[in-house]
Amino acid sequence: MPSEKILEQKKQAAAALTEQLKNSCCGVIVNYSGITVADDTKLRKELREANVKYSVIKNTLLSRAVEAAGIEDLKGCFEGSTALATCDDDYVAAARILSDYADKSKTFEIKAGYMDGKAIDIDVIKRLAKIPSKETLLAQVAGVFSAPMSIFALCLEELKTKKEEEGAA
């Protein structure tokens, strides 16, 4: 029988994980078996750079945390090696990075995920993964806004050139 101290530590870990689930906008649960140490290090670095929290979690701990967070629909996917990736402010970062890695790997697989406290299936995660990053989307919007101004500037330049040619003739 575990001591009171160990039970208290487990309760605190479950409470912290529950808060992480509640405070994140999106999360992805994966089976990380078969991943090499070098690949895992590279994957963790990429996730860290995107502000995604990634950790290996015991299935019973994650099961209790999703129940406490109100995402019970995820409970069916807690078998085998389980890792959780969460992000507080980017809906697509975890899905994009982990989907890219899963496409290249034969053993690494996405189990499920959640968004805004609701369970989502693998198809939704794959669709999220195809959305460009926030920076790319902002660059595209800036390009759309600047295109008319560029065309207007070119038209003015052409008018100026035409006037100069007419004046020289």
Convert the pLDDT of each residue in 5-56 to its tens digit.
888 888 888 889 989 999 999 999 999 888 889 999 999 999 999 999 999 9
- Sequence letter at residue 112: A
CATH number at residue 15: 3.30.70.1730
154 and 123 in a single domain? The answer is: no
pLDDT in tens, 140-159: 788 777 777 778 777 778 88
Residues 112 and 140 occupy one common structural domain: no
Residue 47 has what pLDDT? 94
Same domain, 19 and 71: yes
Whether residues 123 and 138 share a domain: the answer is no
Lowest model confidence (mean pLDDT) among 18-22, 29-33, 118-122, 133-137: 133-137
Structurally, how many domains does the chain consist of? 2
Check whether residue 97 and residue 24 sit in a common domain.
yes
Do 63 and 113 reside in the same domain of the chain? Answer: yes
| Predicted local distance difference test score (pLDDT) of residue 30 | 93
Range of the domain at 38: 4-131
Residues 113 and 92 reside in one and the same domain:
yes
Q: Name the average pLDDT for the chain.
A: 86
| Contact assessment for residue 47 and residue 96, using Cβ atoms and an 8 Å cutoff | no
Is 21 in the same domain as 81? yes
pLDDT of residue 164: 79
Q: What is the pLDDT of residue 8?
A: 86
Mean pLDDT check: name the lowest of 37-41, 52-56, 75-79, 103-107. 75-79
Based on the fold, state whether residues 120 and 161 are members of the same structural domain. Answer: no
Does residue 169 or residue 16 have the better pLDDT? 16
Confidence label for 94 from pLDDT (cuts 50, 70 and 90): very high
